[in-house]
Structure 1
Amino acid sequence: MRHRSSATSRGAPTRAACSEAGQPRLPRGVRLTDAGAALAERGRAIRRRLRAAQADLDVFARLDRGTLRLGSFPTTS
């Protein structure tokens, strides 16, 4: 029985996944297909928008920006 090195056996799931997805496997990893590149760009755009939304929420949480309106009635003051 032949023993595989741990690096070789760890690469097996990657090779199998690439094969199933139809990804070309290169000596130094995988290359995205055109469809994969388009999907990756959409993912990066979503991540940018989520970070911007989080930054907006952080500003409001720190009360650095925004409007605070107070009202009062003479009978309760």
Structure 2
Amino acid sequence: MPDRDSAETALEELSARWPDLGEVEIVRDSLAGEDDAEDAQWLVVLEAPEEDGWTTQLLSALDSFAAEHDGWREED
């Protein structure tokens, strides 16, 4: 996300759509080699649901959600 407000909005929407995701965090991540705080991006970090984990259907829905917010999904 380009800024904290966008990340917080996404967090609220995620929590409303998928309350079973559990805790959702916002993390600030500076881009490699950039010293300017303006170049930081905001990440919305999710943990896999305990009961079912990452299902194909949920991952597809999260991909669509990320695209709605001009973002993308990455797995760590």
Which band: TM-score by shorter chain?
Answer: 0.3 to 0.5
Task: Please report the TM-score for the alignment, with normalisation by the length of structure 2.
Answer: 0.33
Q: Which structure has the bigger radius of gyration?
A: 1
State the TM-score, normalized to the length of structure 1: 0.33
More helix by share: 1
